[in-house]
Structure 1
Amino acid sequence: MSQLSFFSAESVPPAVADLTGVLAAAGQVVTVGTGARLSVVVDAVWRAAALAEMMTATGLQAEVTSTEENTPLVRTAVDVRLLGIAADWTRGAVKTVPTDWLPGPRELRAWTLAAGSPEADRYLLGLDPHAPDTHSPLASALMRIGIAPTLIGTRGAHPALRISGRRRLSRLVETVGQPPEGADAEAAWPRV
């Protein structure tokens, strides 16, 4: 049995700002009328279900559906509480990273749920291939919390931040907490 860390995602109460972690991945936030909607396309149903659970825990309504390509999509209902996130994370129609954004435990968990994957003895946090200007600021944000990544694949369809080394991986594992239930989630979750 593992011990709960004081820095783990399970030790922090849910907040709407936690969901900014999906924006570090390929998530999108759009203003709709008097509110905003957060959405992200993921590669597995377990990811969509776990993110929907996170969204619901913050008090937002969540919906899991699929794209025309039959890929899982999770999104919130339009909500006024997402307007601040939309203002902070967009400049015009372009996604940007707020200069003071640091991924806390739950933000990092949302990012891992949306786009995390193991690579041999390393771990990848996926980035948005359509928002290349976010890649370096996201790498810097991770460095500021003690997880120094390597930016990879910037010219391809799957850019990511690679986390390697026992100390960095331990910090990531401790921060994101336990994987959601299920073999697929456990296989995709970071480990040392």
Structure 2
Amino acid sequence: MTETGWPLIPREVLPAPVPAAKRRPPPRPPGQTSEAGRQLPIFGAGTTEPSPGDLAGLLAGPGRLGRMGGTARVSVVVDAAWRVHVLAAELVSRGLVVNWRPVETTETDKSGEPGTTAQETGDDQPTEAQITEVDDPPEPRPRFEVLTAYSRRLNGLAQAWPEAAAELFLSGPRLRLWVAAAGEPVPGGYALGLDPEKDATEIDAALVRAGLAGRLSEDGRQYLIKGKRRVARLAELVGERPPAAPEDLWPRGAAA
């Protein structure tokens, strides 16, 4: 049985999320309530109504846009089950039908040739000194693809993209989707995942306009936002952590 708003994703078949870490909240000043004394940003996720146009945040990162007839859809591959939960809830709240599926990954040697554990010496059996132990390769992390159904609700985004990237405004709701899909803390800051096949010049300019100036990682797969002030700015824009997201992976937890 499915719940209202989850036409293609019964909750009982969603991948189990990673349990969120529990941490005691910091003490508040005397007489201050939970939100008192903290002004919400004007364009933050907590003060801006969600809309299908927010999926531009996914397209700024690793998301892909698909078109069919007079409809469009957005898909993104994520590396953790909790991201499926968060994205599904966020996209359904924008009036979109959502689906997900596991992605199979295969690990291959970079050289394309099988590795060797011993050098040839002319003898049938290698000596003990020539045997090299090889550790078992780590199991690849499970990956999932989250994708919307083709919908006319995304036509405006599809018609404007990719030209709209040149003047992209990364509001809190758009950044929230990006963080949910591909955000993670890194030493000294926070990283947003990118599609290395896309030109990141316009995305870099959009992040600078949002007060989140950073730089590309060496492999071009992440945008690195360094410094407590900028990470705190990101945390304010994306809003409170969703229940399914681990606290230490959400910007506010990383900035603490």
> What band does the TM-score fall into relative to the shorter chain?
0.7 to 0.9
- Alpha-carbon offset, residue 122 of structure 1: 0.7
- Alpha-carbon offset, residue 16 of structure 1: 0.4
- Alpha-carbon offset, residue 30 of structure 1: 0.8
Q: Which has the larger radius of gyration?
A: 2
1:47 aligned counterpart, secondary structure: helix
2:46 aligned counterpart, secondary structure: helix
C-alpha distance in 2, partners of 1:5/1:81? 28
Corresponding residue of 1:169:
231
2:101 aligned counterpart, secondary structure: strand
Corresponding residue of 1:82:
154
- Alpha-carbon offset, residue 59 of structure 1: 0.6
Check the 8 A contact 1:4/1:11 in 2, yes or no.
no
How large is the Cα RMSD of the aligned pairs? 1.8
Check the 8 A contact 2:53/2:156 in 1, yes or no.
no
Corresponding residue of 2:78:
42
Partner amino acid, structure 1, of 2:213: A
**1:129 maps to which of 191, 196, 200:** 196
Q: How does 1:1-192 map onto structure 2 within 5 Å?
A: 1-2=34-35, 3=38, 5-7=40-42, 8-69=44-105, 71-90=143-162, 98-131=165-198, 133=199, 135-153=200-218, 156=219, 159-182=221-244, 185-190=246-251, 191-192=254-255
C-alpha distance in 1, partners of 2:196/2:159? 21
- Alpha-carbon offset, residue 185 of structure 1: 2.6
- Alpha-carbon offset, residue 121 of structure 1: 2.4
Quick check: which one's helix share is greater?
1
Check the 8 A contact 1:97/1:137 in 2, yes or no.
no
- Fraction of identical pairs, as percent: 36
C-alpha distance in 1, partners of 2:231/2:241? 15
Task: Say if 1:151 and 1:97 are closer, same or farther in 2 by CA, change over 3 A.
Answer: farther
1:83 aligned counterpart, secondary structure: helix
Check the 8 A contact 2:96/2:149 in 1, yes or no.
yes
2:147 aligned counterpart, secondary structure: strand
Gapped runs of 5+ residues in structure 1? 91-95
Partner amino acid, structure 1, of 2:63: G
Aligned residues: 181
Gapped runs of 5+ residues in structure 2? 1-33, 106-141
Partner amino acid, structure 2, of 1:185: P
- Alpha-carbon offset, residue 97 of structure 1: 5.6
